[in-house]
Amino acid sequence: MSALLEITDLNVHFATPDGDVHAVKNASLSISESECLGIVGESGSGKSQLFLAAFGLLAGNGRASGSVKYRGREILGAPTPQLNTLRGSAVTMIFQDPLTSLTPHMKIGAQIMEALVLHRNVSREEARIRAREMLDYVRIPESAQRMRQYPHELSGGMRQRVMIAMATITGPDLIIADEPTTALDVTVQAQILEILRSLKQDRKTAIALVSHDMGVIAGLADRVQVMRYGEIVESGPVDDVFYAPRHDYTRMLLDAIPKAGEMPAPVTAVGAPLLTVDDLQVSFPVKEKGLFGKTRTLRAVDGISFTLHQGETLGVVGESGCGKSTLARAVLQLLPKTGGRVVWLGRDLDTATQNDIRKLRQDFQIVFQDPLASLDPRMPVGVSIAEPLKALEPHLTGETVRERARGIMQRVGLDPAWINRYPHELSGGQNQRVGLARAMIVNPQMLVCDEAVSALDVSIQAQIVALIRDLQAETRMSLIFISHDLSVVRRLSHRVMVLYLGRVVEMAPSEALYADPRHPYTRALLSAVLTPDPRAERARKRELLTGDLPSPLDPKAQLSFLASKLDQPGYRPKLIEVAPGHFAAEHD
């Protein structure tokens, strides 16, 4: 087979204020017609820059050298007009984060048509028809209407479909998909990968699939190259790389992915319930569009009850918009609830004053998702870590506080000498350790981790999860571990609660839930989880949910899995105990 794209000894340098950064080092690769090449690597490995450099899309301070041949013709450093005959026409790109990668003030239709009109010399009328066909192809319903919408009016999954439609409309030979499913919900990720698979199979499009996620690569790629610190450390057919990795780094990446069978330490001597949440409700007023639009109530948390015991980990799983973060914040009294009760060690928190709650915060702490954004950028990390201790135990001397801060830094794997560093000087994983240290310094009895590892690279993620588990074993604290990622939740949780639109659809001991999911939504979630096992992924039949999550404002949304009760709009599916300790919501 002839090579479509052949990159030889590509080097990319960036001139930065801190000196020269050698982002890609002597990278070579080739992609044949209708082949899918997977490029795996963690953030900063240069995997995206490699392809941006190849097509002259580097930022202004970047330089590329080496050779890039497209169908035998050298294109590296070619003048822009010449590259423009290729870009968007024969070679197209799908980027991560479709919200920022689509022009915010341009209608979807116009953005999709643009490349077609430019490269294929078709009339606007014809382009419009083709654009609608593309929207249908990527399974966007009501395509005529969508054409007139702006990117911010669509959901994340829809926007990524628009990106794909945009990249496919000119019928390219090669699509470069740069982290196409990162930051999407698992069920949406499965749908997007399905579309990419059909592009490869039906349209014979070659795909360069760039991802940090071995699971994404496993199901789609024919060959895989692993990148680390700008170098390609391993390459080979997908089965060889996954089943017989030769490089340590590849092995490490594969090992970092949570697998079935790993279970947290069992809860010993379950004491009295630490936290009881009873029929908790949180709703927000949402103003309808239009000037005299009426205000409607969005029930973000719509009657959730659970009990958390000492030393226990409760996993909370659900997709974006299911209310998992709102639940965490309401339980921790960071958000006002609209109904229900939160009982902490036998005390109804409704009876506590603001000052009582402030003191109680010593016992329940939280770690947030985005480690960099949730730390004060103008505060040295040592001060951030010590602050809760100073606020909650004001009698301590400055020396004791500093001592405790250094101690906890050491415990979470941070060099205590970094006490005066600022968050921007640390990596994402290190900042999340700071977040953990800040929460753990007051020795809480309960720690809530709200997507605490979601923004981290897999290898770092594995380290942080191990750290949380060790801390729990030492302190016997309870954990509420919130994540959209079922495999991470599985690693830590004794019990798992699955949320759907603000309600529990299933709650069960971890092993029961993963082995025998009873609710169709749980089954769909589990079936969407990717495993780093190419053979299993290729063979796999998925239970795909179609379309997006319904709007939580839609009164019928709660009955998505209970169509037989659709004639009773206010009806809420009840939780039924299907096995000891295993509850599932009513469904058809």
End-to-end CA distance of the chain: 51
At which residue do the structure tokens 């097509």 appear? Answer: 55
Angle of helix 108-120 relative to helix 124-137, nearest 10 degrees, comes to 120
Q: Which has the closest alpha carbon to 180: 94, 121, 259?
A: 94
At which residue do the structure tokens 């399974």 appear? Answer: 139
- Least Å from the CB of residue 187 to other proteins: 25
Please list the helix, strand and coil fractions of the chain in percent, rounded to the nearest 5, in that order: 40, 25, 35
Q: Report the b/e string of 134-164 with b at 16+ CB within 10 A.
A: bbebbbbeebeebbeeebeebbbbbbbbbbb
The span of 98-106, 302-310, 433-441, 451-459 binding other proteins (CB under 8 A) equals 98-106
476, exposed or middle or buried, with CB in 10 Å at 0-12, 13-18, 19+?
A: middle
- Least Å from the CB of residue 421 to other proteins: 27
Whether the Cβ atoms of residue 108 and residue 144 lie closer than 8 Å to each other = no
- Least Å from the CB of residue 201 to other proteins: 24
Strands (E), 398-542: 446-450, 478-483, 495-500, 503-509
Among 63, 73, 152, 251, binds other proteins (CB under 8 A): 152
Among 59, 269, 272, 539, binds other proteins (CB under 8 A): 59
- Least Å from the CB of residue 23 to other proteins: 16
The span of 53-61, 297-305, 484-492, 533-541 binding other proteins (CB under 8 A) equals 53-61
Q: Which has the closest alpha carbon to 147: 161, 156, 157?
A: 161
| Contact track, other proteins, 66-85, x by CB under 8 A | --------------xx-xxx
Contact between 104 and other proteins (CB under 8 A)?
yes
At which residue do the structure tokens 């197209």 appear? Answer: 92
Q: Which has the closest alpha carbon to 431: 375, 472, 386, 482?
A: 375
- Least Å from the CB of residue 116 to other proteins: 10
Cβ closer to other proteins: 119 or 128? 119
What SS3 state is found at 321?
Answer: coil
For strands 495-500 and 313-317, give the pairing.
Answer: parallel
Among 131, 147, 166, 549, binds other proteins (CB under 8 A): 166
- Least Å from the CB of residue 232 to other proteins: 23
Among 26, 65, 103, 400, binds other proteins (CB under 8 A): 103
Among 79, 123, 202, 292, binds other proteins (CB under 8 A): 292
Cβ closer to other proteins: 124 or 535? 124
The span of 103-111, 218-226, 431-439, 474-482 binding other proteins (CB under 8 A) equals 103-111
Whether the Cβ atoms of residue 573 and residue 562 lie closer than 8 Å to each other = yes
How far is C-alpha 457 from the geometric centre of its chain's CA atoms?
11
- Least Å from the CB of residue 501 to other proteins: 25
Contact between 439 and other proteins (CB under 8 A)?
no
How far is C-alpha 382 from the geometric centre of its chain's CA atoms?
29
Q: Hey, what amino acid is at 572?
A: R
How far is C-alpha 541 from the geometric centre of its chain's CA atoms?
23
Cβ closer to other proteins: 100 or 551? 100
Contact between 286 and other proteins (CB under 8 A)?
no
- Least Å from the CB of residue 128 to other proteins: 17
- Least Å from the CB of residue 500 to other proteins: 28
Contact between 519 and other proteins (CB under 8 A)?
no
Reported as half-sphere exposure (CB side, CA atoms, 13 A), residue 438 has a value of 27
Contact between 313 and other proteins (CB under 8 A)?
no
Q: Which has the closest alpha carbon to 388: 326, 436, 327, 333?
A: 436
Annotate 12-32 with three-state secondary structure: EEEEECCEEEEEEEEEEEEEE
Cβ closer to other proteins: 296 or 421? 296
Cβ closer to other proteins: 211 or 560? 211
Contact between 95 and other proteins (CB under 8 A)?
yes
Cβ closer to other proteins: 57 or 267? 57
Among 19, 60, 261, 394, binds other proteins (CB under 8 A): 60
Whether the Cβ atoms of residue 52 and residue 225 lie closer than 8 Å to each other = no
The span of 92-100, 127-135, 264-272, 358-366 binding other proteins (CB under 8 A) equals 92-100
Q: Which has the closest alpha carbon to 464: 312, 258, 220?
A: 258
Contact between 100 and other proteins (CB under 8 A)?
yes
Among 1, 269, 272, 291, binds other proteins (CB under 8 A): 291
Contact between 500 and other proteins (CB under 8 A)?
no
DSSP class per residue in 130-174: HHHHHHHHTT-SSHHHHHTS-GGGS-HHHHHHHHHHHHHTT--SE
Contact between 114 and other proteins (CB under 8 A)?
yes
Among 32, 67, 89, 338, binds other proteins (CB under 8 A): 89
Going by C-beta distance under 8 Å and a sequence separation of 6 or more, which residues neighbour residue 54? 5, 7, 10, 64, 68, 75, 76
Cβ closer to other proteins: 179 or 312? 179
Cα–Cα distances in Å, from 84 out to 3, 57, 284?
Answer: 21, 11, 48
Cβ closer to other proteins: 2 or 16? 16
DSSP class per residue in 385-399: HHHHHHHH-TTS-HH
For residues 442, 447, 451, 452, the Cα torsion angle rounded to the nearest 10 degrees is 40
Cβ closer to other proteins: 150 or 284? 150
- Least Å from the CB of residue 132 to other proteins: 19
Within 10 angstroms of residue 192's Cβ, the number of other Cβ atoms is 22
The span of 89-97, 189-197, 383-391, 560-568 binding other proteins (CB under 8 A) equals 89-97
Contact between 182 and other proteins (CB under 8 A)?
no
Cβ closer to other proteins: 187 or 211? 211
Contact between 88 and other proteins (CB under 8 A)?
yes
Contact between 277 and other proteins (CB under 8 A)?
no
- Least Å from the CB of residue 336 to other proteins: 23
What residues line the site for other proteins (CB under 8 A)?
Answer: 52, 55, 57, 59-60, 80-81, 83-89, 92-93, 95, 97, 100-106, 114-115, 118-119, 150, 152, 163, 166, 289, 291-292
